[in-house]
Amino acid sequence: MAKQLSEDERFYRMTEAPLGKVISSLAIPCIISNLITTIYNMADTFFIGKLSTSASGAVGIALSAMSLIQAMGFFFGQGAGNNVSRLLGAHKTEEASKLTATAFFTCILVSTVFAGCGIFWIEPICRALGATETILPYAVSYLRIIFIGAPFMANGYFLNQQLRYQGLSFYGMIGMGFGGILNMVLDPVFIFAFDMGIAGAALATILSQIISFSILLVCLQTKGEVRIRLRDVSPSAARYKAIYRGGLPSLARQAIGSFAAAALNNAAGVYGDAAVAAMAIVTKIGNFTNACVLGYGQGFQPVCGFCYGAKKYRRVKDAFLYCLRLGTLILVILCAAEAVFAPTLIEVFRKGDPEVTRFGSIALRYHCITFWLTGFSIMNTMLFQVIGKTYKSTVLGLARQGLCLIPVLAVMPALIGEAGVQAAQCAADLIATVIGIIMLKSVWKELSLLEGA
């Protein structure tokens, strides 16, 4: 069990302790939590893949909607969390408590309204997300249950962010990890033993999210320096502006990811259900690869926030470079392995359909050519977000899967056919990296000036 630190001990740890040690101690629980979350999402793909190719395609459709649910949790969670880490660094605990409570209860309200709209318009939503006529029944069956549990899912992500920004990522790992393991256990039970099919996978996911939410809430209320109390809810224009500024990059990144996934589904749908299923599998593999580097970025953010609030700008830069080097190395190794074993990885999730294997293997290998560059984009976005560069972070968050991928998908398939679908993300990653380099130059110069002031 992780030792609970006092406020002064936590401040010293974030601002003075050796960077490698403190970032790794914060990042490893995040990595484990991310991997477990990704694995249980992949478990859905694995078990649903045993039903049919159309059912596998429905997972890709659902991914777009679930990204929007995550977006709400990340918007309010990181919107409050980015500010909370800076407020704690400046020893303003009371304001941190009011901001957290206001964000939490607002997230409950917004996610509940979103769930109601999703259930009411479920069939048009599935069609807009790229469902073909054969995929549509599976997508509707799956997403109806997901929408019912959306408030628990969104607020589970909110609570995980709060624990992370307070330097308590260990407890976030416990909550997310337990829910993830439960999901993997329940999937085959509901899908096959209870003969619920794809609806069983959705029910397993939501029950697991409810359990995760409950554990995370208990952990925050018992271990957090900033806890959620109804009496601290204090809506104000200033607080909502702070949440908006801190959370907009995450909202933009997640929301545009949803739209990009829908664009990818629609582009792949021209080549049949097998293409939609293949691209859904490639996306899940990419999410797994991304989880490790994302975890290091999540370990970096509270350190960055505390140090920026404490005016330790040199340490902010050193922490950024440490995570960038390590994250890029991890991605290079993983991308090389995935390129070599691409057909095998695709067949893990949908064996017996040669067209899924063929289409997905080519797409995964294209993906690996440039995916190792995404560590740079992740660290840039997180740095900008924490130090209050809202619009720079938002633009960068939009770049990879919005400003770059969606236009590429509009052009490349028309020029080179199915290869345009398979290689679209590769091209988008190259463009996004160039944008990131240009934007980092000005921020790095500003940090250097502050350091010397």
Give pLDDT tens digits for 129-139.
999 999 999 99
176 neighbors 157 (Cβ within 8 angstroms):
no
DSSP-derived secondary structure letter, 130: T
Amino acid letter, 376: F
CA dist 68 → 63, 136, 257, 283, 421 (Å): 9, 19, 9, 16, 23
Question: Hey, what's the torsion of the CAs at 203, 204, 209, 212, to 10 degrees?
Answer: 150
State residue 315's pLDDT score.
Answer: 93
**Segment holding 90, helix H or strand E:** none
- The mean pLDDT value of the chain amounts to 90
Residue 5 pLDDT more than 70?
no
State residue 107's pLDDT score.
Answer: 96
Residue 116 pLDDT more than 80?
yes
247 neighbors 108 (Cβ within 8 angstroms):
no
Lowest mean pLDDT, pick from 102-106, 204-208, 279-283, 395-399: 395-399
State residue 113's pLDDT score.
Answer: 97
Amino acid letter, 254: Q
Mean pLDDT for 67-74 is: 91
Going by C-alpha positions, the residue among 371, 370, 383 that lies closest to residue 439 is 383
Q: Residue 392's pLDDT band (boundaries 50, 70, 90)?
A: confident
Residue 364 pLDDT more than 50?
yes
Residue 300 pLDDT more than 80?
yes
Instruction: Give the predicted TM-score (pTM) of the model.
Output: 0.81
How far is the C-alpha of 349 from the C-alpha of 358, rounded, in Å?
Answer: 13
State residue 232's pLDDT score.
Answer: 94
Residue 316 pLDDT more than 50?
yes
How far is the C-alpha of 300 from the C-alpha of 188, rounded, in Å?
Answer: 37
Mean pLDDT for 327-355 is: 94
Cβ-Cβ contacts under 8 Å for 143 (sequence gap 6 or more): 61, 62, 65, 118, 122, 125, 126, 202
Mean pLDDT for 332-361 is: 94
The total number of residues shown for the chain amounts to 453
Q: Residue 20's pLDDT band (boundaries 50, 70, 90)?
A: confident
Residue 167 pLDDT more than 80?
no
Greatest pairwise CA separation for the chain in angstroms? 67
Residue 2 pLDDT more than 80?
no
Amino acid letter, 296: Y
Does residue 340 or residue 349 have the better pLDDT?
A: 340
Residue 1 pLDDT more than 80?
no
Can you say how many angstroms the Cα of residue 72 is from the centroid of all Cα atoms in its chain?
11
The top-scoring range by mean pLDDT among 82-96, 157-171, 181-195, 237-251 is 181-195
Residue 194 pLDDT more than 90?
yes
Rg for the chain (alpha carbons), in Å?
Answer: 21
Q: Residue 363's pLDDT band (boundaries 50, 70, 90)?
A: very high
Q: Residue 355's pLDDT band (boundaries 50, 70, 90)?
A: very high
Residue % of the chain over a pLDDT of 70: 98
Q: Residue 312's pLDDT band (boundaries 50, 70, 90)?
A: very high
